[in-house]
Structure 1
Amino acid sequence: MRYLLCLLCYLLVGVAQAAPASKAYMSIIIDDLGQSTERDSRTLALPGPVTMAIMPDTPHASDFARQAHKAHKTVILHMPMDPATGPYAWHPGLPLPELASRLDAALAKVPYAAGINNHMGSRMTAQREAMTWLMGELQHRHLFFVDSRTSAATVAAAEAQAQDVAHVSRDVFLDDVRTPEAIAGQLQLGIAMARKQGSAVLIGHPYPQTLEVLAREIPRLRSQGVELIGLKQMIAERGNQAMPAHGKHGRYSNR
């Protein structure tokens, strides 16, 4: 009997050791780049696969996109959408040919873009016809989409999922409150979320406080059980499924 108990304990320990540890992944996107060479450079210096979201209507957009690509960072177009303004911005009521023209022009300003996310866009991402067209266009161009989720009424990710377009949705904004303490707290929220649901997508901005916190904390992520990964790997990990805060059973609620 003692032999059988020892054998059973040995087998249970062996199974526990062989079982893969649960994974917790995080991706970080920094928006609003291309406006300041100093902030752009500090963002580029962040360790790990941090994604650079570059606005097309900025003075350094093209040069910084090339610089970031050369540094092996993922570049995405930070596409202005209503209530954003400017020559590239999408607004409800614009005909599809005009939306297409503005998207073409914006992508031309941000070379090496692997995908896009919305800058502002609380009104525009709720427009189903435009989002349906956009996802078809991104599929055709082999680009992915990140729904920044600036509004609970967004249908962008739902339309991406419906058309099987590679995409993810943002889980946490880092710096709605621009203090180091608040930003560090949001990062910890992202860490807790990654541990709970397996992954978390965080979006921040090139504020001095944000860059300071990230430069200090990114090297500590692994010791907290979280692996920082690029957006393409995050898309593969999530498999176009909605996270619990965004829908049920992997499907987005705004279908």
Structure 2
Amino acid sequence: MRYLLYLLIGLMAGVAHAAPTSQAYMSIIIDDLGQSPERDSRTLALPGPVTMAIMPDTPHATDFARQAHKAGKTVILHMPMDPATGPYAWHPGVPQDELARRLDAALAKVPYAAGVNNHMGSRMTAQRDAMTWLMGELQRRDLFFVDSRTSAATVAAAQAQAQGTANVSRDVFLDDDRTPEAITHQLHQGIALARKQGSAVLIGHPYPQTLEVLERELPNLTRQGVKLINLQQMIAERSNLAMPAHGKQGRYSNR
């Protein structure tokens, strides 16, 4: 399977996960897409391999997934999980066959999805049995998982790692504070972290302020010693190992 190849490449590269490195990599994911053609188009126009995370219960999900794929961007399913609501949302206590039905329906709404990340999910990603099943199912479908880490109690990445499912975890949220100054600060925090540990995964949203900052700052990354890469490359770079903030010696906590 293609992600096994990515992981082998990453292992052969001997990635450093704590020591400062001369080459720093960054991946950026924009969540909550599919709601507004104007914001979606502006996000799609961002320079470089920015990942488009599309919600299934939005009016433009399918059309935008096709548009983003045609533009050469990585598309992922932004899967609603408790406390998110709606017809696709996963909640604790929902039977496994219903979880499977909702996953199938969500993937059908977001064609060309190469992987999945959680929308909200602070309660759901702490459910060990459900996350174990999900990671096995994603591996069967040759899809990867991005743990948005909306809760310190998440076991999602740990279960992916335990099963060998291709995965990465979010390091920095860009826009919990939506002011341009705060978003710029968070982006610079991501740059510093990438330089320190070799890579950083950032998640933001299609807010006008976030897009304004990224439009201004992304063209400057190379001059700052950071290379923007897609999630498939990040999976290879990290080789399914946890960053220091998420575990010890490459193993995720909450196992």
- Fold-level similarity (TM above 0.5): yes
- Residue 242, structure 1, aligned to residue 242, structure 2: yes
- Residue 176, structure 1, aligned to residue 186, structure 2: no
Q: Tell me, what secondary structure is at the counterpart of 1:235?
A: helix
Q: Distance in 1 between matches of 2:209 and 2:234?
A: 26
Count of residues in Structure 1 that have an aligned counterpart in Structure 2: 235
Deviating above 4 A after TM superposition, structure 1's stretches of 4 or more consecutive aligned residues are none
Alpha-carbon deviations, 1:107-153, whole Å to 9, x = none? 00000000000000000000000000000000000000000000000
Residue 81 of structure 2 corresponds to which residue in structure 1? 81
Larger-Rg structure: 1
Q: Distance in 2 between matches of 1:30 and 1:136?
A: 25
Residue 140 of structure 2 corresponds to which residue in structure 1? 140
Partner amino acid, structure 2, of 1:139: Q
How much has 1:23 moved relative to structure 2?
A: 1.1
Q: Distance in 2 between matches of 1:202 and 1:244?
A: 16
Residue 95 of structure 1 corresponds to which residue in structure 2? 95
Q: Distance in 2 between matches of 1:87 and 1:95?
A: 14
How much has 1:247 moved relative to structure 2?
A: 0.2
Unpaired stretches in structure 1, ≥5 consecutive residues: 1-20
State how 1:43-58 maps to structure 2 within 5 Å.
43-58=43-58
Q: Distance in 1 between matches of 2:232 and 2:211?
A: 23
Q: Distance in 1 between matches of 2:174 and 2:83?
A: 21
Residue 13 of structure 1 corresponds to which residue in structure 2? none
How much has 1:22 moved relative to structure 2?
A: 2.2
- Residue 154, structure 1, aligned to residue 145, structure 2: no
Partner amino acid, structure 1, of 2:125: T
Partner amino acid, structure 1, of 2:95: P
Alpha-carbon deviations, 1:68-119, whole Å to 9, x = none? 0000000000000000000000000000000000000000000000000000
Alpha-carbon deviations, 1:34-91, whole Å to 9, x = none? 0000000000000000000000000000000000000000000000000000000000
How much has 1:185 moved relative to structure 2?
A: 0.1
- Residue 119, structure 1, aligned to residue 113, structure 2: no
State how 1:25-36 maps to structure 2 within 5 Å.
25-36=25-36
Q: Distance in 1 between matches of 2:95 and 2:236?
A: 33
Residue 212 of structure 1 corresponds to which residue in structure 2? 212
Q: Distance in 1 between matches of 2:236 and 2:167?
A: 9
Q: Distance in 2 between matches of 1:254 and 1:214?
A: 33
Q: Distance in 1 between matches of 2:185 and 2:78?
A: 25
Partner amino acid, structure 2, of 1:48: G
Q: Distance in 2 between matches of 1:50 and 1:130?
A: 29
Unpaired stretches in structure 2, ≥5 consecutive residues: 1-20
